[in-house]
Structure 1
Amino acid sequence: MQQFKIKAFLLALVLTASFGCDKDILDTRPGNTYSEADIYSNVDLTQSLVDYTYNVTENWGLNVDVWWTRRIGIENASDEAWFHFVPQNYRITRGQIQPNNMGFWTQKWRQYYRYIGTANDFLSKIDQSPVAQSDPERVATLKGEMKYLRANAYARLINLFGGVPLFDTPFELTDDFNVPRASYQECVDFIVRELDEAVTLLPEGPRNGVEFGRVSRGACLAMKSRVLLYAASELHDPSTVPNGPLYDYNKPDKWQDAADAAKALIDLDQYSLVPVETAEDYQQMFLSPNSELIFARPFSPDFPNTPNDFNTLPDKAQSPVGAGGWGLSNPTHNFVQDFKMANGLRIDDAGSGYDDDDLYANRELRFYANILYQGASFKGAELEYWSPGGTESREAPGPNHYAATGYNQRKFLDESIVIDQEQSANRPYPLARLPEIYLNYAEALYHLGREDEARTYVNLVAGRVGLPAITTTGEALLEDIRYERQMELFLEGHRFFDTRRWMMADKMNEDIMGVQWEKRNAAGELDPDGTLTRLGPLLIEDRMFAPTFYYLPIPFAEVEKAGLEQNFGY
């Protein structure tokens, strides 16, 4: 597979600091720098500007400004995983986050507005540029991509902060920079309009081959589906707290709109589920492009190393320490115990067959595809999480990156490569997949009272991994739909937002637990030749969640600079 490449040179662009206030135009060309006139006169340079803006879509890491945050994913601020390195910087999981004490979250506001500023500048100039006259078809496509990318940035902002300052043109030096926050509903309406316009500019069908990773009509419809589903959810209902214009979405047909958006993508009939028979089949599905992948960030040796640090993501960062990795995101024991049994029952359901002395036996297929645990095989070797001396124990040589929870992730890891010597050739980071759209549709249908249809679509996802047909009704059906999102979209950046939009404070307030394995002899002493025993669940992190934390605070510097209204509770 070939991917499009962000150009290796750095463009001299009209970028924005904070949310678009500063202009920094370099009109010279020292070394590999290009002027604005160059960019809009050469369509390849124009495309490079768009390619730069693709960084707003992110990948396995949450940040680019601090080296270790390139390796930390948002799953570690949910119940999916616990970050093994500098965990206190999450703050949000421990009730410590404040406007002037946000850790790396401070950068999210500036990063997204930086890309919005780039998109605004591009869209304000492109129609009158020389390239628009010389290559109108290609420029139309680039406009569609940039509209999607701007919508993507706003969608990420409102998911974290609620309503935000909304603007679609560049600031001039004489402009008033004190732009107030728009309402959440105004932001959603703007995002949907942008995506609808982008669809009309983009080519039909998936973009594969050399165009893999570029925005498609399907990507736009997938983002629209997600945005409208989130907006329709409980968090944005005026009856819940926090409420008010910065948080509420009050359209009477909100669930119908969410259903229609998902169905529009399904009706394109351009994507299909990949059939799987084994856990290995499912695992392999995430290592290369396939028929259900709607939109993804390319990942390969051809893709630049800056700012994504792909030499160590995800294999070096997430593989077990015994295989040469750092094992940074440790799946939690809480999450592991949420996996159903192969017969479709929860472990505490009567007749499930769960055996606490053999707790990893007979779990559903995705457990074995996604989780590494004591006794699992990885790169042909059995994983040993036990002390003393197991390959994954705290005594293992090298950096102190043993799995504190007793688990590592398997999802996304390419077991065929040698860590630190090779990179996976074709692995993409999924930004939208067909199963999400089926589950979006099922959830919206449920809230519309169309349970038969909702079961049809959730069963497409559950049945693909061999689970028995879901036949539940009412609240039990909603729980089944939520379960499928939890397990099918594991580590894909959804769980953090799903638990918030469902207002699952109890889940986010749940302490993070792990297990510890030991071998002891008849005298009770630690002995590598002794009997394997399990300790736990053991407390890994004491978490605290309050209604304030449904949204991040607006960084203090931004409130002071632009006179913005602060979020509820801060």
Structure 2
Amino acid sequence: MKKYLTILFFLAGCLVVVSSCRKYETVPVETVTKDYIWDTKDSNGVYASQYLFSIYSSLPDGANRIGRDFLDAGSDDAVTSQTSTAPVTLLATNGITIFNNPDDAWARSYAGIRQATNFLNNFSVVPLKNANEKRSWFGEARVLRAFFYWELVKRYGGVPIIGDSLKTLDDNIEIPRSSFETCVNYIVKECDRAKDSLRDDPVDDGNYGRFTKAGAMALKAHVLLYAASQLYNGGNVGDSLNGYASYDANRWKLAGDAAKAIMDQGVYSLQQEFLDIFIIQRSQEVIYGKTNTLGKPVETLNGPINYSTAPASGNTSPTQELVNAFGMNNGLEINDPGSGYDSTNPYLNRDPRLGYTVLYNGAQWLSTALQTFNGGVNRPGGATVQTQTGYYMRKFMGRFENTTNYEDHYHDWIYFRYAEVLLNYAEAMNEFAGPTADVFTAVESIRQRAGLNPYALDHSISKDSLRTIIRNERHKEFAFEEQRYWDIRRWKIAGKIYNSGLHGISITQTTTGLMYKVAPALNSAFDESKMYFYPIPYNEVVSNAKMRQNPGW
């Protein structure tokens, strides 16, 4: 860490300035100093605002961010379609080391923390005319800093907490890791401090894409749910750096209460059309997401191959494990004898979310029926990058079933949405108090929006049975949203998931119809002795005598 922080502290004196309509004739733009960023005469806060926006730009994008693949292509949701070894595959095959982690967030997150701290320490001198606006900017920087700390903690466990200090090259920067509990408490406290400074929800159009009160509350609820989960709550791998020393059921209650506080606001609700959550802005369900410009990058990277009017790379191949998670539209799982599932017509009458998440053989796309049978137009075989599982990802893409090309639309990356709040609440309170009426209501609202009929559950089921249902609802609802990857870790089921291998479907055309056969897709693996936490990067360990490595690394 010493090496990294030394570089970072030096760079902190060199403020990056983006283009602006504001002119400074006495000092060239390339030599703008901190006195111009924190301008004591600037009642509009032009440069300070740009500095704050630069912190937002440091937030990670989700779509295809791991070497052109989704992070969830390193879970049981998908495999990469790349024909050569892809970085994301390392995450699903015990392939990462202290040198080659494709999801290493250490440097990026500490850079964001440094930026946010710099803002918090210096912005007070800017005489912004609107006092409420100034207070909100402080709150935004604070919750952004908490967000970056969480990016670190969920990967590495406890990390060094820098606080409000801005170290210089002359300071001692060999800082030890704080305990997991200390880090969680710090993040939660920062969210609480930021909450009352932030804008009320829903935010106006002019400030869309900035953290609001509910955004800070959602981060808090998210963190507390993880902290209460099996990996950290007394079942940790390691010591105090990796979780709590013993189990405490009240941690589930804290997580449930944090989610309920958002529900009680009465501001957010489930978007009626599931697809609209991801392709429009101002959805009533989105609490916070990173805004992006209009475009079609998800389609061109992940859409099915061999459409001449809409060329695409087909990067992401959903697994049979993901497809099997989607039950029938009558609310029953496919292995239930009364579900009506037909193995010779496996996609008929399925949970509607399957069709919004996965493109399968026969699905309508770009005005044709998709052909992912062996030798079909969209799975021709050979060396061409194509589906490795018989499926393509459909989620996040626009309504292109009946068009012939892709058109621009929004691809905002959603960090927190109301469906997660409901399922966070349901999971936490089921673990704390069992299957109460409120827990059933939260889960059933998700199933109702999905279009299941009937959507209601049997209210006599056990806590364990409801836990299974809640986890499956999360699997279906949040596929490719960087939830599943972390869920199977915090539930401590990653070993069972990965060590069973990942599969796809092999479809053969015969004279009597199509034959479906489950086929291996990836020999995945998970070393439970070390893979629940990422290794601290090599440079941080060798340059800081106080930096302890995670277990097994």
The answer to whether residue 33 in structure 2 is matched with residue 35 in structure 1 is: yes
Alignment of 1:469-488 (within 5 A): 469-471=456-458, 472-488=461-477
| CA distance in structure 2 between the aligned counterparts of 1:478 and 1:87, rounded to whole angstroms | 36
**Count of residues in correspondence between the two structures:** 519
For 2:193, the equivalent position in structure 1 comes to: 197
The answer to whether residue 502 in structure 2 is matched with residue 502 in structure 1 is: no
> Is the 1:312–1:420 contact (alpha carbons within 8 Å) kept by the matching residues of 2?
no
For 1:523, the equivalent position in structure 2 comes to: none
Compared with structure 1, are the counterparts of its residues 171 and 57 closer, same or farther at alpha carbon in structure 2 (3 Å cutoff)? same
For 2:269, the equivalent position in structure 1 comes to: 272
| CA distance in structure 1 between the aligned counterparts of 2:30 and 2:62, rounded to whole angstroms | 28
Following superposition, the deviation at residue 182 of structure 1 comes to 0.3
Structure 1 residue identity aligned to 2:442: Y
Compared with structure 1, are the counterparts of its residues 216 and 18 closer, same or farther at alpha carbon in structure 2 (3 Å cutoff)? farther
TM-score (norm 1): 0.85
Alignment of 1:395-406 (within 5 A): 400-406=384-390
| CA distance in structure 1 between the aligned counterparts of 2:422 and 2:14, rounded to whole angstroms | 47
> Is the 1:232–1:249 contact (alpha carbons within 8 Å) kept by the matching residues of 2?
no
Following superposition, the deviation at residue 462 of structure 1 comes to 1.3
Following superposition, the deviation at residue 420 of structure 1 comes to 9.1
- Bigger CA drift: 19-28 or 349-358? 19-28
Alignment of 1:26-175 (within 5 A): 26=14, 34-41=32-39, 42=42, 43-61=45-63, 63=65, 69=67, 71-85=68-82, 86-90=84-88, 91-102=90-101, 104-106=102-104, 108-127=105-124, 129-131=125-127, 134-168=129-163, 169-175=165-171
- Bigger CA drift: 531-540 or 451-460? 531-540
For 1:464, the equivalent position in structure 2 comes to: 449
SS at match of 1:550: coil
Following superposition, the deviation at residue 450 of structure 1 comes to 4.2
SS at match of 1:79: coil
One of 258, 264, 268 as aligned partner of 2:255: 258
| CA distance in structure 1 between the aligned counterparts of 2:234 and 2:266, rounded to whole angstroms | 36
One of 314, 325, 340 as aligned partner of 2:312: 325
Alignment of 1:354-503 (within 5 A): 354-394=341-381, 400-416=384-400, 422-424=407-409, 426-452=410-436, 453-467=438-452, 468-471=455-458, 472-503=461-492
One of 522, 544, 558 as aligned partner of 2:525: 544
Compared with structure 1, are the counterparts of its residues 215 and 509 closer, same or farther at alpha carbon in structure 2 (3 Å cutoff)? same
| CA distance in structure 2 between the aligned counterparts of 1:516 and 1:335, rounded to whole angstroms | 15
| CA distance in structure 1 between the aligned counterparts of 2:113 and 2:175, rounded to whole angstroms | 14
| CA distance in structure 2 between the aligned counterparts of 1:420 and 1:346, rounded to whole angstroms | 35
> Is the 1:18–1:110 contact (alpha carbons within 8 Å) kept by the matching residues of 2?
no
Structure 2 residue identity aligned to 1:512: L
| CA distance in structure 1 between the aligned counterparts of 2:81 and 2:149, rounded to whole angstroms | 30
Compared with structure 1, are the counterparts of its residues 227 and 216 closer, same or farther at alpha carbon in structure 2 (3 Å cutoff)? same
SS at match of 2:289: strand
Q: CA offsets per residue over residues 425-456 of structure 1, 9 Å max, x none?
A: x4422111111001111111111214122112
Structure 1 residue identity aligned to 2:237: V
Structure 2 residue identity aligned to 1:559: V
Following superposition, the deviation at residue 383 of structure 1 comes to 0.7
Compared with structure 1, are the counterparts of its residues 538 and 420 closer, same or farther at alpha carbon in structure 2 (3 Å cutoff)? same
| CA distance in structure 1 between the aligned counterparts of 2:414 and 2:70, rounded to whole angstroms | 13
Q: Aligned residues: percent identity?
A: 27
Structure 1 residue identity aligned to 2:492: M
SS at match of 2:524: coil
TM-score (norm 2): 0.88
Compared with structure 1, are the counterparts of its residues 200 and 24 closer, same or farther at alpha carbon in structure 2 (3 Å cutoff)? closer
Following superposition, the deviation at residue 294 of structure 1 comes to 0.8
SS at match of 1:235: coil
Following superposition, the deviation at residue 343 of structure 1 comes to 1.8
The answer to whether residue 497 in structure 2 is matched with residue 513 in structure 1 is: no
| CA distance in structure 1 between the aligned counterparts of 2:5 and 2:369, rounded to whole angstroms | 49
Q: CA offsets per residue over residues 340-378 of structure 1, 9 Å max, x none?
A: 111222211221211111111111111112110000001
- Bigger CA drift: 384-393 or 242-251? 242-251
Structure 1 residue identity aligned to 2:462: T
> Is the 2:499–2:526 contact (alpha carbons within 8 Å) kept by the matching residues of 1?
yes
| CA distance in structure 1 between the aligned counterparts of 2:236 and 2:343, rounded to whole angstroms | 39
> Is the 1:154–1:191 contact (alpha carbons within 8 Å) kept by the matching residues of 2?
yes
SS at match of 2:518: strand
> Is the 1:94–1:543 contact (alpha carbons within 8 Å) kept by the matching residues of 2?
yes
One of 179, 184, 197 as aligned partner of 1:183: 179
The answer for unaligned runs of 5 or more in structure 2 is 18-26
For 2:284, the equivalent position in structure 1 comes to: 291
Compared with structure 1, are the counterparts of its residues 518 and 26 closer, same or farther at alpha carbon in structure 2 (3 Å cutoff)? same
Compared with structure 1, are the counterparts of its residues 49 and 295 closer, same or farther at alpha carbon in structure 2 (3 Å cutoff)? same
| CA distance in structure 1 between the aligned counterparts of 2:375 and 2:144, rounded to whole angstroms | 50
Structure 2 residue identity aligned to 1:354: Y
The answer to whether residue 222 in structure 2 is matched with residue 238 in structure 1 is: no
Alignment of 1:212-231 (within 5 A): 212-231=208-227
Following superposition, the deviation at residue 535 of structure 1 comes to 5.3
Q: CA offsets per residue over residues 498-517 of structure 1, 9 Å max, x none?
A: 11110012113231111233
Q: CA offsets per residue over residues 376-402 of structure 1, 9 Å max, x none?
A: 00122211113435134336xxx9221
Compared with structure 1, are the counterparts of its residues 421 and 262 closer, same or farther at alpha carbon in structure 2 (3 Å cutoff)? closer
The answer for unaligned runs of 5 or more in structure 1 is 1-15, 276-280, 302-310, 521-529
Compared with structure 1, are the counterparts of its residues 24 and 56 closer, same or farther at alpha carbon in structure 2 (3 Å cutoff)? closer
